[in-house]
Structure 1
């Protein structure tokens, strides 16, 4: 084993035959600068294939995606007969708490369609109806139909699990397609707040798509309290409104949303 001792001149002298000279000052400065650079860059600079880019910048966040718009539903108009429309729904379709029958969303949609040509309307459903009850009543109407508008789920949202509603909704649309295989199909989302409507809407969206329809969400209309009630206000003809059902402005908003997806 060799031993080393320092000479007064700063040279290192070994006990063996070789001798190592101290590097000149400029070399020591260069080495120090290199080491300082490695410390500043960090360990990633030493990884194989890691080449720091002079143009590297902080990543920028992607802009938020725009809300998806419902796809337009083509609505071919028969040349030799009136347009046949089927409304399926609960108390909203029935028009509960509207000031007049002409102000319900069903009547408003029918009036807009009638402005283009003759229309014949059939209905399935009524106050308190569920998707399963509507399915049972479908055999009571006869096709063909050119347009089917389905609005159920408000009653199911407080009585069924989302999974069970999805099954009932699929059975309902199976019945619709058996009755009207080629009809344009509009599926309204559930009329309720997001805490109850969201899970059911999540079930009905793919079912509606599988049956060739388009979904019109309603929960964003429901949360606008000016479209409901006010609770206790009188309804012409008798009765008072609650804070759940749409008022005249609510029916108008629902009709506008439904008509917006029809390619008239």
Structure 2
């Protein structure tokens, strides 16, 4: 056999080997390998979800929760903007954006509505029966998402008896749809240390005496994380 023929055979073997490596064990395999530790987090909510009135963004409950999941459970957390609208509720923020939420391919969703929904002075107000219907429909649609997200409902913030009434609905929907609920009543009920002081400069403007402060956001994140930890450890 001539040296030219030998060289040709060697080149053919190398080309074939390269192709097999690329297709079954190389670049393509690496690109298609699922990132089992990546977690896309979509927060849905009102001004609390926007971070009012933590002093800085990294002290908002969304940011703290993301850090807890990343450091405590080892996930690479990608926190999306989600749907966070101050003063809004289910009917004017969540429901019109269901498709957008699903298209983000979420792995984890927190839903924090009900505070403005329970306030008759807000455009977001809906009576209890309608609130339950909207929340049920929202959860049902999100549970049908192809990414099969874990969902945590969060109870309302600091609206006295109205909060208790709507929190009861939130807990009922969570039970009926077999999802988790983070009850944050203990963060605001009979407390003065988790909100205020008034007129403190924050990244969302001047604070008031009603929205959670840094301590309030920290405690909210801790309560939600307890639920997330159970869900994500099962998945992990």
TM-score (norm 1): 0.65
Greater length-normalized contact order (CA 8 Å, ≥ 6 residues apart): 2
Q: What stretches of structure 2 of length at least 5 have no aligned partner?
A: 1-33, 120-124
Tell me the SS of whatever aligns to 1:156. Answer: coil
Aligned to 1:140: 100
TM-score (norm 2): 0.72
2:224 pairs with 1:258: yes
Aligned to 1:86: 42
Check the 8 A contact 1:84/1:146 in 2, yes or no.
yes
Aligned to 1:170: 136
Aligned to 1:26: none
Q: What are the superposed Cα offsets for residues 121-169 of structure 1, whole Å, 9 maximum, x if unpaired?
A: 2211221120122121122231432211111111011133222211121
Q: What stretches of structure 1 of length at least 5 have no aligned partner?
A: 1-77
Q: CA deviation at 1:180?
A: 5.4
Aligned to 1:227: 194
Q: Which has the higher helix share?
A: 2
Specify whether residues 237 and 103 from structure 1 end up closer, same or farther in structure 2 by C-alpha distance, changes over 3 A only.
Answer: closer
Aligned to 2:112: 151
How many aligned positions are there? 186
Aligned to 2:77: 119
Specify whether residues 212 and 183 from structure 1 end up closer, same or farther in structure 2 by C-alpha distance, changes over 3 A only.
Answer: farther
Segment of structure 1 superposing worse, 108-117 or 97-106: 108-117
Q: CA deviation at 1:226?
A: 0.8
Tell me the SS of whatever aligns to 1:150. Answer: strand
Tell me the SS of whatever aligns to 2:105. Answer: coil
Q: Superposition pairs for residues 1-264 of structure 1, below 5 Å?
A: 79-80=35-36, 82-115=38-71, 116-122=74-80, 123-132=82-91, 133-141=93-101, 142-158=103-119, 159-179=125-145, 182-223=148-189, 224-230=191-197, 232-237=198-203, 239-261=205-227, 262-263=229-230, 264=233
Check the 8 A contact 1:98/1:235 in 2, yes or no.
no
Check the 8 A contact 2:195/2:209 in 1, yes or no.
yes
Specify whether residues 180 and 235 from structure 1 end up closer, same or farther in structure 2 by C-alpha distance, changes over 3 A only.
Answer: farther
Q: Which structure: larger Rg?
A: 1
Check the 8 A contact 2:115/2:159 in 1, yes or no.
no
Specify whether residues 249 and 160 from structure 1 end up closer, same or farther in structure 2 by C-alpha distance, changes over 3 A only.
Answer: same
Q: Which runs of 4+ in 1 moved over 3 A?
A: 78-81, 236-239
Tell me the SS of whatever aligns to 1:257. Answer: helix
Specify whether residues 113 and 195 from structure 1 end up closer, same or farther in structure 2 by C-alpha distance, changes over 3 A only.
Answer: same
In structure 2, what is the Cα distance between the partners aligned to 1:131 and 1:238?
A: 22
Check the 8 A contact 1:124/1:138 in 2, yes or no.
no
Q: What are the superposed Cα offsets for residues 167-191 of structure 1, whole Å, 9 maximum, x if unpaired?
A: 1211221232233563222111111
